[in-house]
Amino acid sequence: MTMINAYDRARAGQLDPQDRALIARRERALGPAYRLFYEEPLHIVRGKGVWLWDKAGRKYLDAYNNVVSLGHCHPRVVEAVSAQMSVLNSHTRYLHEDIVTYAERLLATMPHTLGHVMFTCTGSEANDLALRIARSYTGRQGVIITRLAYHGVTEAVSELSPSLGDFVPRSSRVRLIDAPDGLRIPAADQGVKLAADLALAIADMRADGVEPAAFLVDTVFSSDGLHPDPAGFLQPAVDLIRSEGGIFIADEVQPGFARTGDHFWGFQRHDLVPDMVTMGKPMGNGFPVSGVAMRPDLVQEFGAKARYFNTFGGNPVAAAAGLAVLDVIQDEGLQENASRVGAFLKEGLEEVARCHPAIAQVRGAGLFLAVECVLDRQTNAPDAATAGFVVNHLRRNGVLISASGPGANILKIRPPLVLQEVEAEIFLDAVKAAFAAASSA
């Protein structure tokens, strides 16, 4: 995943001399592990709403950013964070009204059986903590994930993030299964196949003497290429992991917080009640806050014996940011906006697809969409070259998206929830031009 849509050093000569110098400084200071987006990286200095500006004042439509899901620098979040920072920022070992209020309001968006929430700072930390609790509760170690999943970068969860690449090792306590595939697998077969693959993974795991503790998935399978439909197909796999003594963990870092439009959480599209829910990125609209919601019985023994503390997790400023995010989603009708503008975008992308055989499928939910590029519609062989061309053509023409999926051929479109139809039209015009250019290249 991290190598898709990355800076191409062969294009360094085309960059502004100051940016070339900054890249060199960055590499000396930060080392070799970091990556920059786009063949020609962006030097962004300012953001507002769905727009970003580079150092030369050029404007870009951000159709990719899920971190600031309310839009860049939303004034209500900025005000809430600034006001709380000017008064107090401590931690959860002191009483603070807003921390408790935020926990209560967040849990109120979920099924009542998820009665506790524990706060962390990043999605990686949230998944790490969820694994600790799941393994403590079940007394087991095994975790099953999808083949190109991304669940974080700590030592514990990097082995559950195969999208990081083959260099990251996986132990015998982890098994990979195929993700759903909305293009190649009939909708009626998705749930049956996922459950059957999960059963094989559990059997294989047990052959190594490992018992399954959890089935962990991003509920729209974002890194696997975005596969949100058909609604309900996750249920057989969830029933299976529970019948085998494990629990179901829904990773809502990308699909959560009204992103899918029809529901507040991705798991709700499948009419599911997870045992645990992990959250991150959009929780604070750019301020680092994340968390794990769970059934109270799961954490009873863990809480009594291990306890839990995180210096910055759930601090008063994080709570202020989180409360402001919940307020804005409700007051500005952003779930409804995601549904309405997302449908408008999807219809427009399907129109583009009718004119370009390189597009095999448009899929998505709300303001999370995918366009799958293929060499031809008979074989559906992945076309990474066209996807890469389109991503970089859009970037050069003022629109930002990325690509994902096992074939690096799936356009990943995930704008802030405040996107309006006038901006969606700008996006669609740019996509039409990009595919037209790709077909004549």
| pLDDT tens for the 441 residues of the chain, in order | 446 677 878 877 788 899 999 999 999 999 998 889 998 899 999 999 999 999 999 999 999 999 999 999 999 999 999 999 999 999 999 999 999 999 999 999 999 999 999 999 999 999 999 999 999 999 999 999 999 999 999 999 999 999 998 888 899 999 999 999 999 999 999 999 999 999 999 999 999 999 999 999 999 999 999 999 999 999 999 999 999 999 999 999 999 999 999 999 999 999 999 999 999 999 999 999 999 999 999 999 999 999 899 999 999 999 999 999 999 999 999 999 999 999 999 999 999 999 999 999 999 999 999 999 999 999 999 999 999 999 999 999 999 999 999 999 999 999 999 999 999 999 999 999 999 999 987
Complete domains list, the chain, with CATH: 9-70+333-440 (3.90.1150.10), 75-331 (3.40.640.10)
pLDDT of residue 3: 61
Residue 59: CB atoms within 10 Å: 11
Q: How many CB atoms lie within 10 A of CB 355?
A: 12
Which residues does 285 contact at the CB level (< 8 Å), separation at least 6? Answer: 67, 68, 69, 70, 74, 77, 321, 324, 325, 328
| Range list of H helices, 273-315 | 296-305
Report pLDDT for 427: 98
Query: Which structure tokens are listed for 178?
Result: 């195929």
Instruction: Give residues with Cβ within 8 angstroms of 113, minimum separation 6.
Output: 273, 295
Q: Chain-centre distance of CA 240, in angstroms? A: 25
Residue 307 has a pLDDT of 86
Q: What is the pLDDT of residue 2?
A: 47
Helix (H) or strand (E) holding 144: strand 142-146
Name residues whose C-beta falls within 8 Å of residue 426's C-beta, 6 or more positions apart in sequence. 61, 399
Contact status, residue 203 vs residue 249, Cβ threshold 8 Å: no
Full strand arrangement of the beta sheet holding 116-120: 116-120, 290-294, 276-279, 247-251, 212-218, 142-146, 174-177
Give CA angle at 373 (369, 377), nearest 5°: 120
CB-count burial class (<10 Å; 0-12, 13-18, 19+) for 185: middle
How far is 291 from 441, CA to CA, in rounded Å? 46
Residue 12 is predicted with a pLDDT of 79
Cα–Cα nearest to 117, from 257, 246, 254, 278 = 278
pLDDT at 7: 83
Please compute, for residue 299, the number of CA atoms within 13 A of its CA located in the half-sphere on the CB side. 18
